[in-house]
């Protein structure tokens, strides 16, 4: 079965977004604004932190206040005019607080030509989708690691929604249902949506085709499959090898285009991915060592 003829009209490879387009990933940049302090789910591979040395998503040197974001974007554009995207990807979930929406309102007013992009686990996407339209967000990345609650329960330990903690298969079901509703609402509002999938051997590696089919049906435009880098509760878990990653991408590509140039960026990364991070010039970071992992960026 081939579904690739059903490409979403909103997705086009000339989109000036380095995290959505292979062509743009070579010469377009982004500025990540670390304004989101907390998360409303806990993935077993995710360890969020504030520090100046770990080179990974889920980490920034400090938390940025929304009111300071415009100045950061101004400095970033002065040093890297090829920046086309203002993104919020952490260090927590961008919709777990209203900080991201407040930040985008300021950025959109000052720099309306920039693509505003938000990364989220999707738990509150349905609730805030219209607010995101109002503050100029055009692209979304939603991390969906399983659409089977039994599988997702092995990946996500708990979900917090409206001050209630959900665990087990119940928690996984709450998250999956919220992701589906949120993505479908966002698609109806003309967002371009990329799905991030963390490939975890022995857990969701045989689930990729079903997952890709589901997010295709929900209306997503592109998929990004990222190998697990063992961390946190999965520190002893094996990462997928190149063959497993290639196989998963091939399965997903039956349903949607697959982005293959993800750089696993920090929540405060600035510049063209893979061509030197200039965040230290903007945020005064002093990075002295590197530790890799993956959050939901």
Interhelix angle 168-188/208-218, nearest 10 degrees: 40
Q: Between these two residues, 94 and 81, which has the higher pLDDT value?
A: 94
Work out the angle at residue 272's Cα, subtended by the Cα atoms of residues 276 and 114, and round it to the nearest 5 degrees: 145
* pLDDT tens-digit map of 180-204: 999 999 999 999 999 999 999 999 9
Element (H, E) at 123: none
pLDDT in tens, 5-49: 454 444 443 366 656 655 544 456 778 898 988 899 999 988 764
The domain locations on the chain are 25-283
What global pTM score does this model have? 0.84
Per the structure block, which two tokens stand in for 98? Answer: 């209203």
Largest CA-CA distance found in the chain, in angstroms, rounded: 51
Q: Give the fold, CATH level 3, of 25-283.
A: TIM Barrel (3.20.20)
């Amino acid at each position: 079965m081939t579904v690739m003829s059903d490409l979403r009209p909103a997705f086009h490879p000339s989109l000036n977004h380095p995290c959505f387009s292979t062509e743009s990933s070579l010469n377009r940049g982004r500025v990540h604004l670390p304004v989101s302090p907390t998360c409303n789910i806990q993935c077993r591979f995710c360890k969020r932190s504030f520090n100046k040395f770990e080179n990974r998503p889920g980490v920034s040197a400090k938390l940025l206040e929304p009111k300071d974001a415009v100045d950061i974007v101004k400095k970033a554009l002065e040093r890297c005019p090829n920046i086309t995207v203002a993104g919020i990807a952490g260090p927590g979930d961008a919709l777990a607080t209203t900080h991201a929406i407040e930040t985008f309102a300021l950025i959109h007013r000052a720099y309306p030509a920039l693509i505003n992009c938000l990364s989220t686990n999707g738990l509150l996407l349905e609730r805030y989708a219209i607010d995101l339209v109002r503050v100029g967000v055009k692209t979304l990345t939603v991390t969906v690691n399983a659409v089977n609650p039994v599988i997702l329960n092995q990946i996500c330990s708990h979900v917090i929604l409206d001050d209630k903690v959900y665990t087990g298969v119940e928690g996984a079901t709450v998250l999956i249902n919220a992701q589906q509703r949120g993505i479908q609402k966002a698609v109806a509002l003309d967002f371009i949506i990329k799905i991030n999938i963390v490939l975890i051997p022995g857990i969701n590696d045989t689930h990729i085709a079903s997952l890709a089919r589901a997010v295709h049906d929900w209306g997503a435009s592109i998929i990004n499959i990222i190998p697990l880098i063992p961390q946190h509760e999965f520190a002893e878990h094996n990462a997928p090898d190149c063959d497993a990653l290639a196989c998963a991408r091939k399965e997903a590509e039956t349903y949607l285009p697959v982005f293959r140039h993800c750089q696993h960026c920090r929540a405060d990364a600035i510049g063209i991915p893979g061509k030197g991070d200039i965040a230290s010039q903007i945020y005064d970071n002093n990075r002295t060592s590197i530790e890799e992992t993956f959050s939901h960026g």
